[in-house]
Amino acid sequence: MGLVILRNDDLVNRWKKVLQHAAPDIPIYAMGEEVPHEAILMAAVWKHPPGSLSAFPNLKGIHCLGAGVDFILEDKGIPEELPVMRVVDPFLASDMAEYVLSQVMAFLKDLHRYKQDQVSGRWHPRPYRRIGDVTVGIMGLGTLGRSVAELLLKSGISTVGWTRDSDPDVDFPNFRGDAHRNAFLEQSDILVCLLPLTPDTRGILDYNLLSRLPGGALLINVARGPLLVDEDLIRALDEGLLSGACLDVFHKEPLPASHPFWNHPHVHMTPHVASVSDPDSVAPQIIDNYRRLTEGRPLKNEVSRERGY
Ligand code: GLV
């Protein structure tokens, strides 16, 4: 028996330490180490090299180290019957809410533009907006979307939500399905995207959608890069339909140096840090699912392959 951590970054050893501490009885291996492939029953993965899971013939399940499992479901080398689990964690939810609130406030108070003014030595006061001046629209009302809505509402910010097809069961105004998408977009001075990346949502943030937002709107994409059509965003910004975009996620990460986002004055970027799994908080649920898997008990936070999240 054993659990392998597959992630190609320098956090792999921290995860190993924390998981091992949470379960001294389970052999835990990190990518790059000598791993007894036959003994591995579960892989805990984050952006693993595609195809690498086929090296473990006795694998019984895959645990994502984050919330979004798109990169696992896209790995066609993984047998369909292997269960995939994702992280649901209070910090992952509250960190996302804090990040979005920060970007909303920075937009209202023009903080990104003042930073640019400072860099170019320009003194240029602008009229500022208040919380009561805008409505934030959240696309995707899963755990993260609902957490963001909760903090925004608590901060007095008018918030509406949209889901593709599920009943969000929330107590703030929300819209459902393609038929009501434009009505939702037309109210969203700030659009926050927290949809899962699936074949149905890839490219959903296109010119057609962006042009339905009120003039001068802000886009905040904190979900996955491929939800956005990059060229369409640049067009919408250059035509003045949108006044800015805060992007934490990209088609390719790190974003290639030649990408036009780097130098676009209205694109504000962070390097996929809006909300990052905290090993100390998350390790117990991974170990719990490992034990459930090996004891044949029902798993927690199992992903539906059909829905894609
Ligand atoms: C972060 O992007 C996550 O999916 O947890």
Whether 145 maps to a domain, the answer reads: yes
Looking at the chain, the whole-number percentage of residues with pLDDT higher than 70 is: 100
User: Are residue 166 and residue 239 in the same domain, yes or no?
Assistant: yes
Please say if the pLDDT value at position 176 is more than 90: yes
Please say if the pLDDT value at position 168 is more than 90: no
Residues with CB under 6 A from ligand 1: 66-68, 277
Q: Is 130 a catalytic residue?
A: no
User: Are residue 66 and residue 135 in the same domain, yes or no?
Assistant: no
User: Are residue 281 and residue 245 in the same domain, yes or no?
Assistant: no
Whether 216 maps to a domain, the answer reads: yes
The protein residue whose alpha carbon is closest to atom 1 in ligand 1 is 66
Q: Is 297 a catalytic residue?
A: no
What angle in degrees, to the nearest 10, is found between the helix axes of 90-108 and 279-295? 140
Mean pLDDT, residues 142-168 taken together: 96
Whether 222 maps to a domain, the answer reads: yes
Per-residue model confidence (pLDDT) at position 166: 82
User: Are residue 123 and residue 260 in the same domain, yes or no?
Assistant: yes
Instruction: Output the CA 275–ligand 1 centroid distance in Å.
Output: 7
Please say if the pLDDT value at position 167 is more than 90: no
Please say if the pLDDT value at position 133 is more than 90: yes
| Residue 289 banded pLDDT, cuts 50, 70, 90 | very high
Beta bridge partners of 242: 217
User: Are residue 179 and residue 54 in the same domain, yes or no?
Assistant: no
Looking at the chain, the whole-number percentage of residues with pLDDT higher than 90 is: 97
- CATH number of the domain that residue 40 is part of: 3.40.50.720
How many structural domains are present in the chain?
2
Whether 309 maps to a domain, the answer reads: no
Active site residue: 7, 63, 164, 272, which one? Answer: 272
How many other C-beta atoms lie within 10 A of the C-beta of residue 218?
25
Per-residue model confidence (pLDDT) at position 233: 99
Mean pLDDT, residues 125-134 taken together: 97
- pLDDT by residue (tens digit) across 236-283? 999 999 999 999 999 999 999 999 999 999 999 999 999 999 999 999
Cβ contacts of 42-46, under 8 Å, gap ≥ 24: 42/3, 42/4, 42/289, 42/290, 42/293, 43/3, 43/4, 43/5, 43/6, 44/3, 44/4, 44/5, 44/6, 44/15, 44/19, 44/286, 45/5, 45/6, 45/7, 45/72, 46/6, 46/7, 46/9, 46/277
Per-residue model confidence (pLDDT) at position 86: 98
Q: What is the mean pLDDT of the chain?
A: 97
Give the residue numbers spanning the domain of 208. 90-269
The least confident of 163-177, 205-219, 258-272 is 163-177
Q: Is the pTM of this model over 0.75?
A: yes
Per-residue model confidence (pLDDT) at position 299: 98
Overall size of the chain counted in residues: 309
